[in-house]
Amino acid sequence: MAMIHEITKDAGKYKARKRVGRGEGGGRGKTSGRGNKGAGSRSGTARKGAFEGGQMPLFRRIRKYGFSNARFETNFWIVNLREIAAHPDFAKGGVVNQAALIAAGLIRDDSRDLKILGDVAKEGLKLKFTVEASRVSAAARKMIIAAGGSVNETGTRRDFVRGVDRNSEDRTPKNLTKKLKRLNAAAAKRASFKAPPKDAPKAKGKSKDTGDAADKA
């Protein structure tokens, strides 16, 4: 038996294919290792990855109730100002958007929203950028504007649905859901309710005594 350190380039890179179906004398003949009969012994068959031999699959055994927001989450391409400022394409500042970052190789594609974060070098941001992204952190916005640049946050789909203007100081949602409308209406009702003064006379209620006057005598 050859040891691993004894194998040289003369041994070849590829191993010869195992020949099957060459008769019983070949060692892998007759059934060719496929067993006897059944779908697995025929050519052209395939089994799904989750197939468990006919028993109830796991994805059919687990409970299926409740609600999850997983499919509605917003995924971002995250880019720091440090990476943008250090890239040769932005050595003199300029426009920073998805197309420019894709061309620079800082993000892969436009399948996600873009978010700019404010991590920079110790000397701070010295370049003037015109940033257009779905989200820009508060620290990044402050540094970009301080360096003479501008920021335009286009917002995500969630912002659009909720009616949030990311470029204004008031970022409260304008398009309220049924639940928020109901909660706001209840809060307004509680705020408008005025409790009666403490010295107000109490209303006289009915007497609890239901007995006849003759019984009392």
The residue among 88, 93, 79 whose CA lies nearest residue 125 is 93
Q: Is 133 exposed, middle or buried (0-12, 13-18, 19+ CB in 10 A)?
A: buried
Chain-centroid distance, C-alpha 206? 62
pLDDT of residue 60: 92
Query: How far is Cα 94 from Cα 125, in angstroms, rounded to an integer?
Result: 13
The residue among 119, 87, 120 whose CA lies nearest residue 101 is 87
DSSP assignment of 3-71: -GGG--GGG-SSPPPPP-SS-GGGSS-TTTTS-SSSGGGSTT----TT--TTSPPHHHHS---S---GG
The per-residue pLDDT string of the chain (217 residues; one tens digit each, 9 = 90 and over) reads 667 777 777 777 788 888 888 888 888 888 888 889 988 899 899 988 889 989 999 999 998 888 888 888 999 999 999 999 999 999 999 999 999 999 999 999 999 999 999 999 888 999 999 999 999 999 999 999 999 999 999 999 989 988 999 999 988 888 877 777 888 888 888 888 776 777 766 666 555 555 555 555 4
Architecture of domain 73-154: Ribosomal Protein L15; Chain: K; domain 2 (3.100)
User: Domain segments of the chain: what residues?
Assistant: 73-154
